[in-house]
Structure 1
């Protein structure tokens, strides 16, 4: 890949935008949606939960895939001035979001799909802080890469 400034700016721009979309979404989920689940318990819980998981999948799939793809590119090729350490940090942050989702969040949602369970709900809310922290840190790393590539010291 060339060191064309437009290619570099596009790569970093797409990466940063996709990560920050995920950051905003995970904070809304953490502070509003997941805590609000407890107030939606009742006869329609399964339908509410099914709608949440279906729509959340539609919302997050594209930006999260772009984050992963651009992160992989940044690990293999970085714009001039962007150190490997920042690309590695972005990769670690992204990997944490995937690991927590696969190992904890998806199993919690599978259990909640069968009926509301306060203990599972509490675990989901508590462990989602790990994804919230990882995505937020990834957003900071993405902005640091943009600043470094622009020649601005963070």
Structure 2
């Protein structure tokens, strides 16, 4: 894989298994998370969203005609922030995933998702192509530690 080429969830998990486990656990701790998309005028829109990790993919399902789906049709870039909950359960740190969302029209893929998730019909279904994963945490009550991963690059850790 070349630097900057987006990967799916399985590609991220293969590249950096331990961080992927932590990120997956943070998203798995809660059902709802925050999705940021770009409005028609370029300003950000944040909305709640459920996400699913199935078959090596990170999936985003949405109601038909939702503003976030319309945003992603216009500009597929997104950022997805894990729900921090009450803050007490953030032992895994704060995590964010950035990338592009690609709408899935394939009937087989949609049926597999629907069988597993049971979303209300009809629905938009997007698979994600990851361009960045960031984890921020506090270490030893002294340091802010930021771990940044991008496709084709090693995990970079910054301590402040």
The two structures have a TM-score, normalised by structure 1, of 0.26
TM-score normalised according to structure 2 size: 0.25
Which structure has the larger Rg over C-alpha atoms? 1
Structure with higher strand content: 2
Give the number of the structure with larger relative contact order, counting CA–CA contacts within 8 Å between residues 6 or more apart.
1
